Amino acid sequence: MEPPQPNNKKRVGIVGLGLIGGSLGLDLQKQGYEVYGLVRNSAIVDRAKVRGLAQVIDTNPKILKSCSVIILALPLSQIIKPPKELVTSIPLNAVVTDVGSVKTPVLKVWEKLHPKFIASHPMAGTNEAGIDAGKHDLFKGRPWVATPNEDTDHASLEVIHKLVLSLGSKWITTNSQKHDEAVALISHLPVLVSAALLHTTSQKEEKNSEATLAKLLASTGFLDTTRVGGGNPNLGLDMAMNNTEAILDVVNLYKASLEKLERMLYEKKWDMLSDELSHAQSIRSHFINT
Amino acid sequence: MEPPQPNNKKRVGIVGLGLIGGSLGLDLQKQGYEVYGLVRNSAIVDRAKVRGLAQVIDTNPKILKSCSVIILALPLSQIIKPPKELVTSIPLNAVVTDVGSVKTPVLKVWEKLHPKFIASHPMAGTNEAGIDAGKHDLFKGRPWVATPNEDTDHASLEVIHKLVLSLGSKWITTNSQKHDEAVALISHLPVLVSAALLHTTSQKEEKNSEATLAKLLASTGFLDTTRVGGGNPNLGLDMAMNNTEAILDVVNLYKASLEKLERMLYEKKWDMLSDELSHAQSIRSHFINT
């Protein structure tokens, strides 16, 4: 599909200019949108201006009054409990979307707050955060999931669809429960699995001195496996608090998978273990080739 | 410490010219060593010659007769059960080392086979394997662990020490048990943890269709966390077979770490979970800064 021509007159308000909001600001301006950025802290206004994250940057929510599209690029916890003055500054005729990593609780809150709300989630990121993290082309080629329900306004969905395509993202729609179960599996479970691996090295350190040697020997494999578990704790906490049931469900499946491998070592079932490791290799290749 | 000047007359035999052996061949020649490469399969001799992995490349173990240093760059299982004709082709006065990822079983076999054996393990690698995998500077800046014991010949240890420094590696000595416990923690446990994560996505797929969505949404975080678990199954099997007890020990610690996190989600102990995720972030930063 051809990316649609952006509407040059469209004014987009971005709430929060961190990694996601800042990247959106850079790319949307490049696509011809007029971008207004709302930040919480006056100390970062100048830095955001120097970086050119938006044409207008302010700490006053009133700047949203003239925007026809508003993107909530806040941490999940703030999207779910939005400040009252933010909500009252959003014009009723604006199309509003968010970028939170869990969709059911967001939809539950915002479908009551705004008639033209579209719950969405760009599957893109880096390890960076803050006003200096935003970068061009962060969303290019990455999935951007929207989770409409029966009450969703179709014209508003189409507005976000067009905006997302202009960023070069792959548009996917599903329901919020399916989205939340999928991210529990491929995004939230890895955080816990990986954090537990870091904790294990620390427990071992308390027991004896091999962990010091382990630190000297740790290679790229260890660093890759622990990257998401050693990431921003606030992101991990937000996921855990807002997608608890789906995460607990996959943690249970995970423990069974790990115990199956453990039993093969314990019982020295080497042929079975070999098959399971080959299976793991094959599963991953499907993820890469999708 | 200044890297020592290589002895230009030293002839090094490398047994196996895969990722590790091939990389050694390239770098040792650059350092002025004369390199003889022994390969198992006549079909790859030409390719190894075209790549310049060694000056002399042959399938006949007799080429080792004139080498003063011999490096066993074979899969761990073959180092532990070496072909008889390989053992009989190694001259008694040659210093021999290996590159196997578990040291106690290697030392047990080879200290009986050869008087000048040094058990060692370069902590370097890529996802590649085979005759085309070898590359320059693979060992530069990476740890290279030797595990001498009370019977180890000190002059031989010094020969390997100098060779390793000439590659730009960091030389570390410890005992084989400590080495094996450390790699169980930072190298072998991550393989199982990561393979179990891949299996979980596959189990979920059997249950319903969310795994298909998960495949579409999987981001770099998932791919990083599963890289070592989706790697070469033969390497994983070799580790499991030869370091079983140490791995089972850390799997137990790991399960306790994961269950602690799980309990915090289940009981909604968000402050505790926040502390644990911050702790994980801090632990990882120590690994990066070591």
Residue-wise DSSP of A178-229:
HHHHHHIIIIIHHHHHHHHHHHHHHHHHHH-SHHHHHHHH--HHHHHHTTTT
Residue A173 CA to residue A177 CA, distance in Å, equals: 12
What is the complex's ipTM, to 2 decimals? 0.89
Split at pLDDT 50, 70, 90, the class of B8 is: very low
Which residues 264-283 of chain A have a CB within 8 Å of chain B? 264-266, 268, 270, 273-274, 276-281, 283
Which three-class secondary structure state does DSSP give residue B72? strand
Nearest to B283 by CA among A244, A197, A257, A198: A198
Which residues 50-89 of chain A have a CB within 8 Å of chain B? none
Q: Any idea which residue has 């705004």 for tokens?
A: A114
Residue A254 CA to residue A201 CA, distance in Å, equals: 20
Q: Tell me the pLDDT of chain A (290 aa) as tens digits.
A: 444 444 446 899 999 999 999 999 999 999 999 999 999 999 999 999 999 999 999 999 999 999 999 999 999 999 999 999 999 999 999 999 999 999 999 999 999 999 999 999 999 877 788 999 999 999 999 999 999 999 999 999 999 999 999 999 999 999 999 999 999 999 999 999 999 999 999 887 655 555 588 888 888 899 999 999 999 999 999 999 999 999 999 999 999 999 999 999 999 999 999 999 999 999 999 888 65
Residue A217 CA to residue B181 CA, distance in Å, equals: 11
Whether B232 contacts chain A with CB within 8 A: yes
pLDDT digits (tens, 9 = 90+) for B48-58: 999 999 999 99
Split at pLDDT 50, 70, 90, the class of B209 is: low
Whether A241 contacts chain B with CB within 8 A: yes
Whether B185 contacts chain A with CB within 8 A: yes
pTM of the predicted model as reported, rounded to 2 decimal places: 0.89
* Predicted pLDDT at B206: 56
The encoded tokens of residue A80 equal 């779910």
Whether A20 contacts chain B with CB within 8 A: no
Q: Any idea which residue has 């981001």 for tokens?
A: B219
- pLDDT above 50 (res B164): yes
Whether B135 contacts chain A with CB within 8 A: no
Q: Which of B104, B139, B144, B199 to mutate to test the interface with A (most CBs of A within 10 A)?
A: B199
Residue B270 CA to residue B262 CA, distance in Å, equals: 11
pLDDT digits (tens, 9 = 90+) for B67-115: 999 999 999 999 999 999 999 999 999 999 999 999 999 999 999 999 9
* Predicted pLDDT at B1: 46
The encoded tokens of residue B187 equal 């190298």
